[in-house]
């Protein structure tokens, strides 16, 4: 089998790697920089702390109209703003939403038409140019957006993506010190998102030796540090391991793909506005149980890393292990807890089945019946 590995053109990782931003900009010599970030990061002073030194040497405009789970309208507003502004470099600083929108600003603004024209499920156009250079700097350890070629937008009732090589970062800077102030719940949710990327990539039908190596190292790093990062946010070692784990998980899933957990999570985000990481967390145990019979060996390897000892496990034990993991970082483990009515499980199923791109990577084919059953298990939980 022939397999490929794709990466951003250059990545910097590790404590203090943000210093490389200045060097890269000195090489690029942009005349107008657009920074896409969100209001919270401005308010807590993170944008000022890390980006204000740029103002001395560069012409920098800040764009903060970034919604969580950004809508198509939000993406269109930004693309129009970027087109008007004539920027020749885009910096994305933030969580997955800011980074995804930065990709759209850099690429869509330089192509004809709107973001809607380039959506995976309903778009009709093909991107013609790469756009302006983009530098992506995550401030959470989770989405992996800094190393993927995908931008996710929320539509009514579902989500869709713009995905193309052109959306890959020119430079990714993954500095754990930017994650020190992330609150507990967001650390937990983004951490489970990163773990889900690694696990789904490892179990994907498109996995290969290289993506397996990335995924397994990511599971090791995240399993060894997630609880510590949630409980002791200022712990540099835990934040550094989570940052590296999230980065490797991002590379693994960019190349091997995510599957059932993400396919079923998208409708929870768009219909009920659950944050992406929490949508994954509440479904992860039930999807793992459902697919376990088709990937028992690989799933056991993951479980052995998570529990630190090796043993064979039944479907029920796999379910309980992931359930306890989500519970241990303080996240809800049932859809009930989010106030989602049982009557909506049908419409969630109808939306999830549309995510053919993701479902195609599942080791076990997930049709309507299986998807409905997973939502029903996630509704009720273990009781
Ligand atoms: Fe994700």
Distance 124 CA to ligand 1 centre (A): 25
Residue 383 has pLDDT above 90, yes or no: no
Distance 11 CA to ligand 1 centre (A): 20
Q: Residue 233: its pLDDT value, please?
A: 97
Contact partners, residue 106, CB within 8 Å, separation at least 6: 82, 90, 131, 132, 133, 134
Distance 84 CA to ligand 1 centre (A): 31
Residue 157 has pLDDT above 80, yes or no: no
Distance 197 CA to ligand 1 centre (A): 6
Q: Residue 308: its pLDDT value, please?
A: 82
Distance 262 CA to ligand 1 centre (A): 6
What is the pTM for the complete model shown? 0.94
Distance 53 CA to ligand 1 centre (A): 32
Residue 261 has pLDDT above 90, yes or no: yes
Distance 39 CA to ligand 1 centre (A): 22
Average pLDDT over residues 329-356: 96
- Identify the H or E element spanning 214: helix 209-231
DSSP 272-313: H---HHHHHHHHHHHHHHHHGGGSHHHHHHHHHHHHTS----
Distance 379 CA to ligand 1 centre (A): 21
Q: Residue 155: its pLDDT value, please?
A: 86
Distance 200 CA to ligand 1 centre (A): 10
Distance 194 CA to ligand 1 centre (A): 7
Residue 158 has pLDDT above 80, yes or no: no
Q: Residue 172: its pLDDT value, please?
A: 98
Compute the distance between CA of residue 353 and CA of residue 371 in angstroms, rounded to an integer.
Answer: 8
């Amino acid at each position: 089998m022939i397999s490929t590995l794709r990466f951003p053109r250059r990545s910097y990782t590790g404590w203090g790697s943000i210093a490389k931003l200045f060097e890269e900009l000195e090489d690029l010599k942009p005349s107008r920089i657009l920074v896409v970030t969100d209001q919270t990061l401005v308010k807590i002073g993170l944008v000022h702390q890390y980006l204000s030194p740029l103002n001395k040497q560069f012409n920098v405009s800040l764009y903060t109209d970034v919604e969580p789970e950004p809508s198509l309208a939000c993406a269109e507003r930004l693309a129009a703003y970027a087109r008007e502004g004539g920027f020749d470099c885009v910096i994305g600083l933030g969580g997955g939403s800011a980074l995804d929108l930065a990709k759209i600003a850099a690429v869509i603004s330089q192509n004809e038409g709107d973001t809607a024209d380039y959506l995976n499920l309903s778009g009709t156009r093909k991107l013609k140019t790469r756009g302006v250079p983009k530098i992506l700097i995550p401030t959470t350890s989770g989405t992996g957006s800094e190393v993927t070629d995908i931008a996710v937008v929320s539509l009514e009732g579902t989500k869709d993506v713009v995905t193309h090589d052109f959306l890959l970062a020119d430079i990714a800077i993954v500095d754990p010190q930017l994650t020190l102030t992330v609150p507990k719940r967001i650390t937990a949710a983004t951490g489970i998102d990163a773990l889900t990327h690694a696990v789904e990539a490892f179990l994907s039908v498109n996995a290969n030796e290289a993506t397996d190596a990335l995924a397994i190292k990511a599971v090791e790093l995240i399993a060894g540090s997630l609880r510590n990062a949630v409980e002791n946010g200022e712990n540099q070692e835990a934040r550094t391991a989570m940052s590296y784990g999230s980065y490797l998980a991002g590379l693994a899933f960019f190349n091997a793909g995510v599957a059932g957990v993400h396919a079923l999570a998208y409708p929870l985000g768009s219909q009920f506005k659950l944050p992406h990481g929490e949508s994954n967390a509440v479904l992860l145990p039930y999807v793992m149980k459902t697919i376990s019979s088709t990937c028992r060996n690989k799933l056991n390897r993951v479980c052995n890393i998570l529990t630190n000892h090796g043993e064979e496990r039944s479907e029920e034990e796999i379910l309980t292990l992931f359930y306890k993991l989500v519970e241990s970082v303080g996240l809800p483990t049932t859809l009930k807890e989010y106030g989602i009515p049982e009557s909506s499980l049908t419409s969630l199923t109808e939306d999830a089945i549309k995510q053919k791109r993701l479902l195609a990577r599942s080791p076990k084919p997930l049709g309507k019946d299986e998807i409905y059953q997973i939502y029903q298990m996630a509704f009720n939980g273990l009781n």
